[in-house]
Amino acid sequence: DDAVLIFGNAAFYYWAERPPASRFFHFPAYLLDSPLLPQVGANLQQALAPGNAGAVLASRMHLEERLTEPITAVLWQHWVPVQLFSYPYQRDMFLFLPKTAVSDREPAALFAGEIRLTAVTGQVVDEQHVLVRLDWKAETAVSADYVAFVHLLRPDGSLLSQHDGVPVVGYRPTTSWQPNEPIIDWHWVEIPVGTSLDEITVSIGLYDPAAGDRLPLQSPTTEVDSFTISWNDLTITQTKPTD
């Protein structure tokens, strides 16, 4: 119950979801274009949701790969085209991702009656980067492809830094979301060296890239265009696996 073993191409998929700066290797186009990628991703999204198991990634990292000859083959449950490669050398990689605790500060923010932000967590990666995880869920079929944004605001409301992008590093546009499907969306935000986050506010939302209009955030008392929360309320907590 503490970790899910993710290996082979599924491990590639997981890292494809990660922010580019945190990836360990390059992703071949044939893998990312696989029609079965969303199915694999949906299973991983569910397994890694807050309160569920953590993960162990196991994959073989090939260095200086060279495509020598494409081949065709039919393999049972093989979900990407088969290619023939040569590898000067390689190494195996294992990475343990601890279980993430369920947040007791779920925002339950509903945007335009279509998309709900169910949880927000964040962590400081280093003195120049923070990582914000957004947990989304579509209430119904989504009518358009929206861009998600994470803005860090100074105490006076001015913009300190931001990251805008199609959810899941571009691989899960909102029109591909199924109702009630959990979507885990990471945003890698750069910050100036020496920044104190104690008084920083995080503004989160969605907008239509064609019109530039933000989706309204619905609430019983008011209507705004973003969900805001102080950085200090986003501290991620993790549980260590039991032996």
DSSP class of 240: P
What pLDDT score was predicted for residue 221? Answer: 60
- Of 59, 78, 99, the residue that ends a domain is 99
159 and 91 together in one domain? no
Closest CA to 149 of 218, 233, 225: 225
57 and 121 together in one domain? no
Using the Cα atoms of residue 24, residue 96, residue 7 and residue 135 in order, give the sign of their dihedral.
Answer: negative
59 and 139 together in one domain? no
80 and 160 together in one domain? no
3-state secondary structure of 41: helix
Strand runs labelled E in the chain: 3-7, 54-63, 66-70, 83-86, 89-97, 99-100, 109-111, 115-126, 129-138, 147-153, 159-165, 182-190, 201-207, 217-218, 223-224, 227-230, 238-239
84 and 150 together in one domain? no
125 and 218 together in one domain? yes
What pLDDT score was predicted for residue 116? Answer: 93
109 and 78 together in one domain? no
- pLDDT by residue (tens digit) across 76-124? 333 334 444 444 444 444 444 444 444 444 456 899 999 999 888 888 8
130 and 149 together in one domain? yes
151 and 72 together in one domain? no
What pLDDT score was predicted for residue 50? Answer: 53
**How far, in Å, CA of 116 to CA of 218, rounded?**
10
Structurally, the chain folds into a number of domains equal to 2
Q: State yes or no: pLDDT of 145 exceeds 90.
A: yes
142 and 46 together in one domain? no
What pLDDT score was predicted for residue 28? Answer: 47
47 and 79 together in one domain? yes
**How far, in Å, CA of 220 to CA of 70, rounded?**
58
- pLDDT by residue (tens digit) across 31-72? 445 555 555 555 555 555 555 544 444 444 443 343 333 333
What pLDDT score was predicted for residue 16? Answer: 46
Q: Residue 219 belongs to a domain with what CATH number?
A: 2.60.40
- Of 99, 122, 152, the residue that ends a domain is 99
**How far, in Å, CA of 209 to CA of 146, rounded?**
7
Q: Which domain holds residue 76?
A: 3-99
Q: State yes or no: pLDDT of 19 exceeds 60.
A: no
- Of 71, 99, 127, the residue that ends a domain is 99
**Do residues 156 and 223 make contact, with C-beta atoms less than 8 angstroms apart?**
no
**How far, in Å, CA of 120 to CA of 80, rounded?**
33
45 and 121 together in one domain? no
